């Protein structure tokens, strides 16, 4: 039986559709006579889908729904298998190379598990991890800076968090627990932004706004928070309250765009009260 015959039968032969089944299905989709859309994809064209699926998995995790998390995990895994299939066709690497590389990396970066290194806590694990990564970059003659390898495609707040984490591991940071100094830096940046706003220079305002946001990301790190998650929570809270404002205006047959700022503020405060009431009722039901 030819490889093509094996590919044609892959879906019928596997009962539980394990990892090998997924690889076989993708191979069949990319083969002549398979799916025209899948066959036309390239590594660059997959970029948007990889990003979308990663965000959808994060959203599913936030929802706490196991079924959604399982489904979105599969969608993201598919993108990895898809990329490896395209790369293999070009003679670059295959899914076995991907698996081998990550296994070797995990073993190499966990000498406290697979070697004779001793660690006392997760902080030591993290420090060792960065030292090992730096050694890997040096061996490959690549950028050995502590700032190397932070993806430019990360959301800006998350990237700011990663940058400040790397700097802190090199000792460029305030003392642990010195929240007041970090807060003072935020206020300093806010004052500098206020000064530039008076000057009305767009480029200067943009720069100071960026500095303020970076300092807020740093403050979040010192408070043990993820600034990206905090902002996403604020986004969702605003959306929920704004929707409630729209509902209240609709009940009064009013158009928000024709209301005064004071009237809109009254709607906003009413929406907040309704939201808090629902939250309180939810806690009561759980109790």
Q: 31 and 99, same structural domain?
A: yes
Q: 13 and 95, same structural domain?
A: yes
Q: 88 and 21, same structural domain?
A: yes
Q: How confident is the model at residue 268 (pLDDT cuts 50, 70, 90)?
A: very high
Of 209, 225, 241, the residue at which a domain comes to its end is: 225
Distances (CA, A) of 73 to 26, 34, 79: 16, 24, 10
- For residues 244 and 275, the answer to whether their CB atoms sit within 8 Å is yes
pLDDT digits 0-9 by tens, 107-155? 999 999 999 999 889 888 988 888 888 788 777 777 778 888 888 888 8
Q: 22 and 95, same structural domain?
A: yes
Q: 185 and 221, same structural domain?
A: yes
> In the prediction, which pLDDT does 282 show?
64
φ/ψ of 260, rounded to 5, equals -75, 165
Q: 93 and 35, same structural domain?
A: yes
Q: 25 and 92, same structural domain?
A: yes
Of 107, 134, 165, the residue at which a domain comes to its end is: 107
- For residues 227 and 220, the answer to whether their CB atoms sit within 8 Å is yes
User: For residue 175, what are the contacts with CB-CB under 8 A and spacing of at least 6?
Assistant: 181
Question: What percentage of the chain reaches a pLDDT higher than 90?
Answer: 64
Q: How many domains does the chain contain in total?
A: 4
> In the prediction, which pLDDT does 11 show?
46
> In the prediction, which pLDDT does 153 show?
81
Distances (CA, A) of 193 to 182, 186, 200, 274: 17, 11, 10, 35
Q: How confident is the model at residue 1 (pLDDT cuts 50, 70, 90)?
A: very low
Q: Give the CATH number for residue 101.
A: 1.10.287.1080
- For residues 108 and 68, the answer to whether their CB atoms sit within 8 Å is no
Q: 257 and 221, same structural domain?
A: no
Q: 199 and 238, same structural domain?
A: no
- Residues 191, 185: Cα–Cα separation, whole Å: 10
197: containing domain:
153-225
Q: 94 and 10, same structural domain?
A: yes
Q: 279 and 263, same structural domain?
A: yes
- pLDDT averaged over the chain? 88
Q: 282 and 215, same structural domain?
A: no
pLDDT digits 0-9 by tens, 158-180? 999 999 998 988 889 998 888 99
pLDDT digits 0-9 by tens, 46-103? 999 998 999 999 999 988 999 999 999 999 999 999 999 999 999 999 999 999 999 9
């Amino acid at each position: 039986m030819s490889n093509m015959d094996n590919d044609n039968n892959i879906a019928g032969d596997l009962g539980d559709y394990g990892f090998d089944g997924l690889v076989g299905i993708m191979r069949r989709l990319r083969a002549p006579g398979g799916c025209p859309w899948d066959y036309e994809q390239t590594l660059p064209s997959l970029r948007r889908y990889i990003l979308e699926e990663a965000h959808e998995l994060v959203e599913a995790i936030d929802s706490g729904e196991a079924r959604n998390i399982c489904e979105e995990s599969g969608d993201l895994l598919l993108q990895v298998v898809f990329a490896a299939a395209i790369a293999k066709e070009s003679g670059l690497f295959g899914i076995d190379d991907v698996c081998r590389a990550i296994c070797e990396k995990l073993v190499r970066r966990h000498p406290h598990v697979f070697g004779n290194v001793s660690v006392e806590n997760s902080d030591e694990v993290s420090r060792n991890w960065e030292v090992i990564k730096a050694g890997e970059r040096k061996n490959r003659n690549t950028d050995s800076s502590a700032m190397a390898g932070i993806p430019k495609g990360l959301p800006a707040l998350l990237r700011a968090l990663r940058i400040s984490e790397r700097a802190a591991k090199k000792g460029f940071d305030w003392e642990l627990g010195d929240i007041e100094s970090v807060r003072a830096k935020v206020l300093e940046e806010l004052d500098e932004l206020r000064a530039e706003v008076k000057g009305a220079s767009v480029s200067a305002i943009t720069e100071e706004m960026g500095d303020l946001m970076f300092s807020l990301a740093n403050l979040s790190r010192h408070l043990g928070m993820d600034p990206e998650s905090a902002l996403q929570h604020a986004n969702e809270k605003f959306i929920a309250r704004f929707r409630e404002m729209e509902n209240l205006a609709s009940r009064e047959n009013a158009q928000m765009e024709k209301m005064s700022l004071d009237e809109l503020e009254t709607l906003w405060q009413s929406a907040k009260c309704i939201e808090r009431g629902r939250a309180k009722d939810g806690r009561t039901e759980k109790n």
